[in-house]
Structure 1
Amino acid sequence: MAENNQSADAISNMEAGPAGDSMEDVEDEEVGVQERVIDDKVNLVLQNPQVLASLQHQLDSLVGQQSGYIESLPKVVKRRIKALKKLQLNHTKLEAKFYEEVHQLECKYAKLYEGLYEKRKDVVTAQIEPTDSDCEWESSEDEEEEEEDNKLAVSEPQGSVNELKEKAQLEDKEEENPPGIPEFWLTILKNVDLLADMVQEHDEPILKNLRDVKVKYCENPTMGFTLEFYFDENEYFTNQVLKKHYTMKCEPDESDPFSYEGPEIFSSVGCSIDWKKGKNVTVRLVKKKQKHKGKGTTRVVTKTEQNDSFFNFFNPPAVPEEGAEVDEETESLLSADFEIGHFFKERVVPRAVLYFTGEAIEDDFEEEGEDDDNEEEEDEDGDYDPAKDTKPSECKQQ
């Protein structure tokens, strides 16, 4: 028995490692080392920008991948789908005609709006003083004033109330009475985040002279619109009107007709600003030292660089020719420019007073919130495969 025990101990010692570990522990340790080596190699590969870019491209290509249900359908069913696509194409063509007529309707009503916009401009610029009937508008401020008067009537004798009212009226008469509505358009630009980012501190003294913004529609065959910014005489430039034209296209893209969502802006053209000497806020003078290569002497030269300014809006980047490659920065600038032009046309000009008071900004914020909620509810899967739908149908009793 003793010999047997010694034999078993010898076998056990043979299976143990140098530190007395079992064979299983040694194997686990070797696997761990191998895993760490693999991890190190993977991390090293992932540090390569080219590898990362390739991986990102492959991942992007997987977004929105279909489940394969459509490809698995019989040929006769695919043939019917082609018929539906042709119907869809005809629908898109009709939709384009619809938007053409909508544009004609916009042109018609733009002429009807002109009288209202002209009167708005006259009030803002103090050309006319609104009559009492023009100012008949119930607001929350009026309600607050009425509540305050009622409180005074309850807490004070009638004589005291009358005295207080007379005093308030006297103070109103002594109040400063500026002409029109000061800084109307500047306030609007600063109220809207999309536009406020464009306005620099050195732009504000100029924009205080902005007295009106108009939209002029272009009728067929060329669809588009022009934004017109009217300025009072000022010390910065001689232009009375700064214009920017946006050209739109209504036809679906022949190469991708099903992406059509209505008319879209595809180019814009600004105007030249006749700056007075030393008043151009779109450029800045920068002094730089230059060293002569041969002589080793240095001199100071003055160069002009582009400066951030609202008035760069009138000098948009040129739209590349069809088929030409567009760099990411130019594409981003064009996209932002088109968005701003559309925003002026659709929101700012028609609802100017509400952007001045801030009421329209609250409405825009609520609409954006609703859109975000809808986006979260959208299904991110590709095509629906009925064969994979295992959820039982629900029955609702009336």
Structure 2
Amino acid sequence: MEARQIPHAEGDLTAPTPQNTPAVHSTMSQLSRPQVPDTIGEDEEEIPTIGSDAATGGPNAQLANHPLLASLVQSRLHGLVGRSSGYIASLPSTIRQRIDGLNGIQVEHSKIEAEFQKEVLELEKKYAHKYQPLYEKRLQIVTGKIEPSESEIAAGIKAAEEDEDDTDSEADGEPRPPRVPPTAEELAQAPKGIPEFWVTVLGNHPGLSELVTERDQAALKYLEDIRVSYLDGKPGFKLTFYFGQGAKEFFENTLLEKTYYYQDEVGYTGDFVYDRAEGTKIEWKEGKDFTVKVETKKQRNKNTNQTRVVKKVVPTDSFFTFFSPPNSPSEDDDLPEEEQEEIEQRLELDYQIGEDLKDRIIPRAIDFFTGKALRYEDGVGEDFSDYDEDDDDEDDDDDDDDDEDGRLVVPGARKTKKAPVPPTGATPASHQDPQECKQQ
């Protein structure tokens, strides 16, 4: 009989075991095997929830008939999670003294962990300097200042052919078209560099593609480079966006920066803790601000029957809001819970985008341009033949909350869709139909 995972019972009235209370008073040998099966058959008994035994008149049925009482009981039980049961305080003083000793050892462990993270950061800085000559050459090729060398072209062709052998594009057995070097005449007539390189890179990233609007693309096609650098004397990093002169049609800046600051001390998990972010103030040309839109409404006077046009500037979605990060709410801010949660989600999303730019997009920009990077995103190109078929509508709600390697998935944020790999290379973002981009 096919087994299925035990569903999460939101209405389960069983009180959670306090975090520091032994669940059972048994020998350690009994802990080597689970006390309950991992899966249950479809004909086995379901986990009881509020209302599940309504027909039998059990205690859950009584609660089901009193929703307010059930809600109160549920909230009280959930409030027990993480609270001390008094177990530690009830232990003999000799055992509690040993526990204090273990806590002291943990303090020393945390100090070593902090040293480790600081050395890792210094190692990242060291290798960041080694990457700079490669990024500089990439910039010169993208902007058309130099052409790649014959050895670089040969290495790229070899890597591409090896990669194509591993993709489904070669499964039909058709020979790949031969690579013919361009003639001198073709080189002379071709546009310089790689047009719209970075706007295509950003558009092919599953998270950033949700932020880049059609209006943004007009300015982002002049984006020439994105660099990452580390801060001196404090933990954190800075992202610098370099724009060509064509972007001056929209704003005066040629450099836009976004700086992320970590706290000086590492967190409980041993990692640096995000503190805040600061962005460059964009000097928009009149009427060119992509982060706002003008809403026009007509108002009619009830007494005179005259009409007037009222224009209102309101915020709108734009990639360039990335340079105006939200501020963390302080303890003195008396904000509604929903508004505070929304700000926290925006902060987490903003930080994750910065991390993705630093760790994934800048180092592998060419892979996002060609679409190769999309094959390594979660769920893209995955073989589902080994999975059992489930109903289409089963666990839809749970899927939206799944963590995807800590990328851009934030509770309440839009779930990104991944574009398929372009079969014949990447298409510049400004050449794509916006509706097609949304469907990818």
CA contact (8 A) 2:258 2:279 kept: yes
The correspondence of residues 228-377 of structure 1 with structure 2, limited to 5 A, is 228-233=240-245, 234=247, 235-252=249-266, 259-290=268-299, 298-321=307-330, 327-365=340-378
My pick for the range that moved more, 348-357 or 319-328, is 319-328
Deviation at 1:42, TM superposition (A): 4.8
SS of 1:249's equivalent in the other structure is: strand
Instruction: Name 2:130's counterpart in structure 1.
Output: 112
| Aligned-partner residue type, residue 203 of structure 1 | D
Deviation at 1:319, TM superposition (A): 2.3
Q: Please, which runs of 5 or more residues in structure 1 have no aligned partner?
A: 1-31, 153-163, 254-258, 376-398
Deviation at 1:355, TM superposition (A): 2.2
Deviation at 1:43, TM superposition (A): 5.2
SS of 1:135's equivalent in the other structure is: helix
Post-superposition CA distance 1:287-313 (Å, at most 9, x none): 134466987755321110001000010
Deviation at 1:108, TM superposition (A): 2.6
> Pick from 238, 263, 269: which aligns with 1:226?
238
> Pick from 88, 92, 103: which aligns with 2:106?
88
1:136 to 2:154 alignment: yes
The percentage of counterpart residues that share the same residue type is: 39
Change (3 A) 1:200 1:323: same
Change (3 A) 1:374 1:80: farther
Deviation at 1:136, TM superposition (A): 2.2
- In structure 1, C-alpha distance between the alignment counterparts of 2:55 and 2:109, rounded to whole Å: 64
CA contact (8 A) 1:218 1:225 kept: yes
SS of 2:154's equivalent in the other structure is: coil
- In structure 1, C-alpha distance between the alignment counterparts of 2:357 and 2:182, rounded to whole Å: 41
Deviation at 1:245, TM superposition (A): 0.9
Deviation at 1:126, TM superposition (A): 0.9
The correspondence of residues 170-209 of structure 1 with structure 2, limited to 5 A, is 177-209=190-222
Change (3 A) 1:180 1:63: farther
Post-superposition CA distance 1:245-288 (Å, at most 9, x none): 111124145xxxxx233112210011111111211111100113
Change (3 A) 1:143 1:116: closer
- In structure 1, C-alpha distance between the alignment counterparts of 2:310 and 2:348, rounded to whole Å: 36
Structure 1 or 2: larger helix share?
Answer: 1
My pick for the range that moved more, 307-316 or 295-304, is 295-304
My pick for the range that moved more, 54-63 or 101-110, is 54-63
- In structure 1, C-alpha distance between the alignment counterparts of 2:164 and 2:281, rounded to whole Å: 49
Deviation at 1:130, TM superposition (A): 0.8
Deviation at 1:107, TM superposition (A): 2.2
1:124 to 2:142 alignment: yes
Higher Cα Rg, which structure: 1
Larger relative contact order, structure 1 or 2 (CA cutoff 8 Å, min sep 6): 1
The correspondence of residues 31-46 of structure 1 with structure 2, limited to 5 A, is 42=63, 45-46=66-67
Post-superposition CA distance 1:216-245 (Å, at most 9, x none): 21021x221111111112221121011111
- In structure 1, C-alpha distance between the alignment counterparts of 2:81 and 2:164, rounded to whole Å: 55
My pick for the range that moved more, 259-268 or 240-249, is 259-268
Change (3 A) 1:63 1:303: same
Query: When the two structures are aligned, how many residues end up with a matched partner?
Result: 315
CA contact (8 A) 1:203 1:281 kept: yes
Q: Please, which runs of 5 or more residues in structure 2 have no aligned partner?
A: 1-53, 383-401, 407-440
- In structure 2, C-alpha distance between the alignment counterparts of 1:286 and 1:323, rounded to whole Å: 34
Deviation at 1:192, TM superposition (A): 1.4
CA contact (8 A) 2:114 2:270 kept: no
Change (3 A) 1:178 1:62: farther
